[in-house]
């Protein structure tokens, strides 16, 4: 893990918002020592999602993922801290909640939705470059 302070984009997805898990997810982020510096609850625009998931366009899961993300409010959060990118991804757990370890957000709070793996509570940027690109989409003035 790097000693540099990084920023990452975290999306609390519609399934977590519907289940009223925002507080618990933010509690875990802060308990890990990461600082939320921006947050906004909103229903994303389709254009934002197209830009966010551009690398997946044309893949079979792309449109179901976009449709799911349009299904309700999303809490977009920018968090910062030392090693926040790999740290949050570890805190989130494996993409499929069934495979996620106990103690992780997805392992403790996720549900097995079969093929609907996109309903996995949270998204976290996977690299510094992705974080910069994603933060610019969701928080262009930051």
Mean pLDDT of the chain: 93
Whole-structure pTM value: 0.93
Q: Is 133 annotated as belonging to a binding site?
A: no
Q: Is 89 annotated as belonging to a binding site?
A: yes
* pLDDT, position 2: 53
113: pLDDT strictly greater than 80: no
111: pLDDT strictly greater than 90: no
Q: Is 120 annotated as belonging to a binding site?
A: yes
Out of 7, 28, 52, 123, the active site residue is: 123
How do the domains of the chain map onto residue ranges?
5-138
pLDDT in tens, 32-63: 999 999 999 999 999 999 999 999 999 998 99
Tell me whether residue 56 is one of the annotated catalytic residues: no
Query: Contact, 6 vs 83, CB < 8 A?
Result: yes
* pLDDT, position 4: 82
Query: Contact, 125 vs 8, CB < 8 A?
Result: yes
Fold category of 5-138 in CATH: Alpha-Beta Plaits (3.30.70)
pLDDT in tens, 65-110: 999 999 999 999 999 999 999 999 999 999 888 899 999 999 999 9
């Amino acid at each position: 893990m790097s000693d540099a302070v990084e920023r990452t984009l975290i999306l609390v997805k519609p399934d977590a918002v519907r289940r009223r898990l925002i507080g618990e997810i933010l509690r875990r982020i802060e308990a890990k020592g990461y600082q939320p510096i921006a947050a906004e609850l909103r229903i994303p625009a389709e254009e934002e999602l197209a830009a966010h998931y551009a690398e997946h366009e044309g893949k079979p899961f792309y449109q179901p993922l976009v449709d799911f993300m349009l299904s309700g409010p999303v809490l977009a959060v920018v968090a910062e801290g030392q090693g926040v990118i790999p740290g949050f991804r570890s805190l989130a757990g494996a993409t499929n909640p069934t495979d996620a370890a106990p103690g992780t957000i997805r392992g403790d709070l996720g549900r097995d939705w079969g093929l609907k793996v996109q309903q996995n509570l949270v998204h976290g940027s996977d690299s510094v470059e992705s974080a910069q690109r994603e933060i610019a989409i969701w928080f262009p003035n930051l």
